[in-house]
Structure 1
Amino acid sequence: MLDGQGYGKGEGTEADKATEKAKASSGSLKQDVIIIGAGFGGLSCAIRLATAGLRVTVLERQEHVGGKLQQIEQGGYHFDRGPSTITMPDAFRSVFDHAGAVMENYVQLYELEPRTRNIFADGTVVDLSRNRVWMKEQIAAYSPQDASRYDAFMDESAALYAEANRHFLGKLLLNPSDKYNLQMLRSLLRVRPTVKLDKLLRRYFDHPHTLAMFGRYATYVGSSPYLSPSIFAMMGHVEAEVGIYGVKGGTYQLIEGMTRLAQEKGVRIQTGVEVHQIVVRQGKVAGVDTDQGFMQAAQVVANGDVLSVNRLLLAPEHRKRMSDSRIAKYEPSISGFVTLAGVRRHYDQLLHHTVFFPEQYEPEFDDIFRDRKMPADPTIYICYSGYSEAGMAPAGASNLFILVNAPYLSDAWNWEEQQSRYGERVLEQLEARGIGGLKQSDVLIRYTPQHIERDTLAHQGSIYGISSNSVKQTFMRPGNQSQDVQGLWYVGGTTHPGGGTPIVTLSGQLVGEQLASELEK
């Protein structure tokens, strides 16, 4: 989007306007649509627009496409730095289907079974599976009562997912009539928006292991199971029955496949380009001012954090409904502290996805959202893609993506002082759980919320945009169409329909379809 030199730059002086006019009249290429950001939302939107016959240019500030998902290769170890748990494969398949392409010609997904290994502090192991009989056997080993209620919970989870698909995930909510109607009201009542996820889970389960295992789904949208609405119980159905998938060659291959398709459709993708400002004239988008000159366009799609886009790319007079004071009222989502470890060992405890839970789960979220500090005893997630696919690490070695939930950036936690110390602590906690030797890794790379903010301009380093810790921030997110500037659209985790890789991909598809239909009129 932009660099530090362009932060907060307004439309400003007559000299600025004269410069813009000169650039525009000196042969700047007019584009039907400019997309800022080449993450999942931006690329999926670009493909849909280009398939409809529109000229599209995507501008990405990083040197490589992918947004928060980047590919790291070092010493024979291959890592995906960013999203690693792929669910809802149809969200990605629809990108290719609508473009008349066969997804398997661009990227190949494979289903994981078991889905995820859950390891609890007392040594209990539950491997999430599509097999309900096996799931109940595993849960019954520590709680027969919870096992007896598993089927009922999964049935409710499936019903919540169906309701979300019908009324929230598959449509834009651009107008008041889209949000405030009898059908939507009935749907909201069915998903009980005021019931917290943890409270819903307690209707079915009593044991802390089961509550943590399914409560963790709130973190998929950067939130707390003790604050977020019960709708996210739908992830039980999504993971166990729709499935969790790996990507051949690593998750980044999804980005590469979408990039290739976009280019085949005529999309122009420029990386290493900083957008300093979205230029607005008489309330309408006129184009973007970049470090490579002015680019004219009557339609701009911002694939980035809505709050950052408004704060950094729009002059205050052009964002009256998204003022600094209003931005400050939004609670950012969870961020993440990542360690990439390439180690010459294999670990029998690990599957493709493994989660190590602490003895108590709730204090982690008090630390993150109340105290805004790193958890004293965190949940630790490990993606080991080499488990499923040879060649992701040297022979006899493992490529481990290690993630700990982190608070969004604030004065309460200083990463400059704490990064090394906390990183060592995570490795020590893993060693105590049987994952040893990490301090002697061939590759050891740490990535903090500060780095996330630096690279992607995510508001306060959040991963998922705003949290879903309230009814309002879950169901009434900032809209996909700017209320202040005509011709400005938003895709990504902060806007509708929400955070998470497949949902952001759907966001791009929905905006692309809507914008294409409007421009064809």
Structure 2
Amino acid sequence: MKQTRNAVIVGAGPGGLAAALLLAKSGVKVTIVEKRGEVGGRTSTLEQDGFKFDIGPTFFLYPRVLKEIFASAGYDLDREVPMTRLDPQYRLVFGAGGELLATPNVERMEKAIANISPEDAARFHKFITHNRVKLDKFLPFLQAPFESWRDLMKPSMMKLLPLLAPWRSLDSDLQVHFKDERIRLGFSFQSKYLGMSPFRCPSLFSILSFLEYEHGVFHPTGGCGAVTRAMARIATELGVEILLDEPVDKVLIEKGKAVGVKTANRTLAADAVVVNADFAGAMRRMVPNQARNKWTDERLAKKRFSCSTFMMYLGIDGRYDDVSHHTIFLARDYKQNLKDIEEVHQLSDDPSFYVQNACVTDRSLAPDGQSTLYVLLPVTHEAGKVDWTKEAPRYRQLALKQMEKIGLHDVERRIRTEKILTPTGWADDFDLYKGATFSMAHSLDQMLHLRPHNRFEDVGKMYLVGGGTHPGSGLPVIFESARITSRLLLEDLKMEPHWTTNAGAGSVLSQDELVGAIS
């Protein structure tokens, strides 16, 4: 295909790679400029002493969006990246007592819920049906840009208000379905994918747990980093040039429009610039403050940002075959743990945590007879109240102690390789503003048209992709942002997209089912 226009993409994360596939397939000459030595950004692989760890995301959800992007480029995701659908999806351990082995099998899930709350088990099916409708109805809006309040006020959007109930928090919304607080936590901890508390997160995001049960939780062989490596390979086959170890110093702007980027080694001219990097960090580093009207440094400092994470990547002797692939421990006083993270900005003494024990599914991640443990503790972002040079050793010991609560004993003695990443590390190594691993919080005043726009409003011919723009964080949503952004860019270049978007979530409900589910 003759390429008459060119675009530079800053960052080889999942959003940038997805945009590269779509733009290259549509005839744009694409160059990706990546500051790190490998592709993937936070969705990349840490290799150390023969062990392999996902750096960031470990849950692969709703593969439909990426399947469509691969298909539009002429590739089959299932063939390019083999995946295992997990059953059970994960194990939930409640500090307040009880466990829940989450499974996509409805009958078994109802029995698992009944072990904790028989009354709530009977409501599981209605919860699934209700959220199937919610996703079906809202999906077209997740696939469209929101560039002003007028997009929000469209009649079709206003009709959704009773179903979306934006005036309710996620936990309040779940109280309609489940009475036991532990069960509600089991269907709302997913708000941590957005770096938010379920007591503040908008009710729309009940669709996150629904996606897990309806469409599955997957483990890509080799980890989620295998997905971005496959995307980079395909992009290269489509003619995309990927420059590694090439940090961008600044976006070149002339007469209010982006005309390229400058690195230490070269200047790259472009008809359009796509930024796939942490939004606040990238703006402060690459775009002069005076070139920004709405998103100045001063305004960014006043925005709410997500939590951060304390990470431990452990390569160990032997395996814990009786521990699930994914295990989430929810602290006894979950609300206080969240308050410590979001309001007080201090470290909890009894924190919630998550452990991925991936080698029970994928033994390619470790040498024979050994395995990997990925340990994540949600913590406050950088707010000037935690000195990680002092706290990291103490929190490491606390994390090892907490892990005993899910059956992981004697871990420290078995460690053969280890890496720790704190919020300071996220800020320094990945240029995340305040070390916030999920970018800006997804509160109602920072969503849709109130989030940085896919077609960036402060600089012409500049576009955003990734968790910092609409629709938000999480791999499926980031892939959707790539489609939105790519369509806008091509529209501005007066080019046609060479792909189609299949609207809807693949479910068909009768009118009676729709009315019943909404009511």
Superposition TM-score, scaled by structure 2 size: 0.91
Q: Do 1:352 and 1:388's aligned partners in 2 also have CA atoms closer than 8 Å?
A: yes
Q: Which amino acid aligns with 2:99?
A: V
Residue 490 (structure 2) aligns with: 516
Q: What is the root-mean-square deviation of aligned Cα atoms in Å?
A: 1.7
**Distance (Å, rounded) in 2 between the aligned partners of 1:517 and 1:473:** 26
**Aligned partner (choices 38, 53, 75) of residue 79 of structure 1:** 53
Q: How do 1:243-258 and structure 2 match up within 5 A?
A: 243-258=216-231
Q: Do 1:338 and 1:401's aligned partners in 2 also have CA atoms closer than 8 Å?
A: yes
2:489 is equivalent to residue 502 of structure 1: no
Q: Which amino acid aligns with 2:122?
A: S
2:278 is equivalent to residue 305 of structure 1: yes
Q: Do 1:467 and 1:473's aligned partners in 2 also have CA atoms closer than 8 Å?
A: yes
**Aligned partner (choices 159, 162, 165) of residue 133 of structure 2:** 159
Residue 322 (structure 1) aligns with: 295
Deviations 1:473-516 (A, max 9, x none): 23331111122211011111111000011211211122112212
Residue 440 (structure 2) aligns with: 466
**Distance (Å, rounded) in 1 between the aligned partners of 2:316 and 2:96:** 26
2:396 is equivalent to residue 426 of structure 1: no
Q: How do 1:200-211 and structure 2 match up within 5 A?
A: 200-211=173-184
1:342: how far off?
1.4
1:115: how far off?
0.9
1:432: how far off?
4.4
Residue 180 (structure 1) aligns with: 153
Q: How do 1:360-375 and structure 2 match up within 5 A?
A: 360-375=333-348
**Distance (Å, rounded) in 2 between the aligned partners of 1:307 and 1:235:** 25
SS state at 1:58 partner: strand
1:325: how far off?
2.0
Residue 466 (structure 2) aligns with: 492
Residue 188 (structure 2) aligns with: 215
Q: Do 1:112 and 1:246's aligned partners in 2 also have CA atoms closer than 8 Å?
A: yes
Deviations 1:409-436 (A, max 9, x none): 1101111111111111110111244211
SS state at 1:68 partner: coil
**Distance (Å, rounded) in 2 between the aligned partners of 1:447 and 1:382:** 15
**Distance (Å, rounded) in 1 between the aligned partners of 2:276 and 2:441:** 18
**Distance (Å, rounded) in 2 between the aligned partners of 1:94 and 1:452:** 31
SS state at 2:469 partner: coil
2:238 is equivalent to residue 265 of structure 1: yes
SS state at 1:310 partner: helix
Deviations 1:42-77 (A, max 9, x none): 000011111011111000011111111221223332
Q: Which amino acid aligns with 1:108?
A: P
1:347: how far off?
2.1
1:118: how far off?
1.1
**Aligned partner (choices 330, 336, 352) of residue 357 of structure 1:** 330
2:43 is equivalent to residue 69 of structure 1: yes
1:31: how far off?
6.9
Q: Do 2:31 and 2:242's aligned partners in 1 also have CA atoms closer than 8 Å?
A: yes
Q: How do 1:370-409 and structure 2 match up within 5 A?
A: 370-409=343-382
**Aligned partner (choices 25, 43, 55) of residue 29 of structure 2:** 55
1:306: how far off?
2.0
Q: 1:325 to 1:189 in 2, by over 3 A?
A: farther
Residue 133 (structure 1) aligns with: 107
1:173: how far off?
1.9
**Distance (Å, rounded) in 1 between the aligned partners of 2:321 and 2:121:** 26
Q: Do 1:284 and 1:298's aligned partners in 2 also have CA atoms closer than 8 Å?
A: no
2:429 is equivalent to residue 444 of structure 1: no
Q: Do 1:194 and 1:471's aligned partners in 2 also have CA atoms closer than 8 Å?
A: no
**Distance (Å, rounded) in 2 between the aligned partners of 1:172 and 1:375:** 39
Superposition TM-score, scaled by structure 1 size: 0.91
Q: Do 1:161 and 1:235's aligned partners in 2 also have CA atoms closer than 8 Å?
A: no
Residue 291 (structure 1) aligns with: 264
Q: Do 1:222 and 1:464's aligned partners in 2 also have CA atoms closer than 8 Å?
A: yes
Q: Do 2:128 and 2:210's aligned partners in 1 also have CA atoms closer than 8 Å?
A: yes
Residue 510 (structure 2) aligns with: none
**Distance (Å, rounded) in 2 between the aligned partners of 1:148 and 1:102:** 39
**Distance (Å, rounded) in 1 between the aligned partners of 2:114 and 2:41:** 42
Q: Which amino acid aligns with 1:333?
A: S
Question: Percent identity over the alignment?
Answer: 29
SS state at 1:442 partner: strand
Q: Do 1:43 and 1:259's aligned partners in 2 also have CA atoms closer than 8 Å?
A: yes
SS state at 1:195 partner: coil
Q: Do 1:172 and 1:510's aligned partners in 2 also have CA atoms closer than 8 Å?
A: yes
1:348: how far off?
4.2
Q: Do 2:260 and 2:267's aligned partners in 1 also have CA atoms closer than 8 Å?
A: yes
Structure 2 unaligned blocks of 5 or more = 496-519
SS state at 2:159 partner: helix
SS state at 1:260 partner: helix
1:402: how far off?
0.7
Q: Do 2:346 and 2:385's aligned partners in 1 also have CA atoms closer than 8 Å?
A: yes
**Distance (Å, rounded) in 2 between the aligned partners of 1:376 and 1:189:** 40
1:185: how far off?
1.9
Q: Do 1:110 and 1:245's aligned partners in 2 also have CA atoms closer than 8 Å?
A: yes
1:175: how far off?
4.8
**Distance (Å, rounded) in 1 between the aligned partners of 2:391 and 2:178:** 37
| Deviation beyond 6 Å, 4+ runs, structure 1 | none
Residue 5 (structure 1) aligns with: none
